Amino acid sequence: MLVLYSSILMFFSGLVVFSSKRKHMLLMLLSLEFVVLALYLNIFMFLKVCDHEYFFSMIYITMSVCEGALGLSMLVSMIRVHGNDYILSFSSLW
């Protein structure tokens, strides 16, 4: 039960950081990864309690790693083009 409460706390704290630190792309990506890890913990605990196979959790963690690599590559290309990771410095968004 403690793991469930801690994963819910992790999820909502990740969402709070994501919504409050929306200026920097790196902090947004880190908070999204924190939310993904909290959801992974929830899925893993659900599969463990229901006595199911863990194959879906492997697929989920694989997709989340791909999402993290894509976000990191976008961050690197944004820093190369604009020189920083501020979201508001995009001239194409405004």
Q: For the segment 21-75, what is each residue's pLDDT rounded down to a tens digit?
A: 778 888 889 999 999 999 999 999 999 989 888 888 899 999 999 999 999 998 8
CA distance 21 to 15: 10
Cβ count within 10 A of residue 48: 12
Cβ count within 10 A of residue 34: 17
DSSP assignment letter at 22: -
Give the tokens for residue 16.
């709070």
Nearest CA among 64, 83, 66 for reference residue 25 = 83
Residue 88: its pLDDT value, please?
67
Domain positions in the chain: 2-89
Residue 70: its pLDDT value, please?
93
pLDDT confidence band for 91 (50 / 70 / 90): low
Does position 94 have pLDDT exceeding 90, yes or no?
A: no
Specify whether domain 2-89 bears CATH 1.10.287.3510: yes
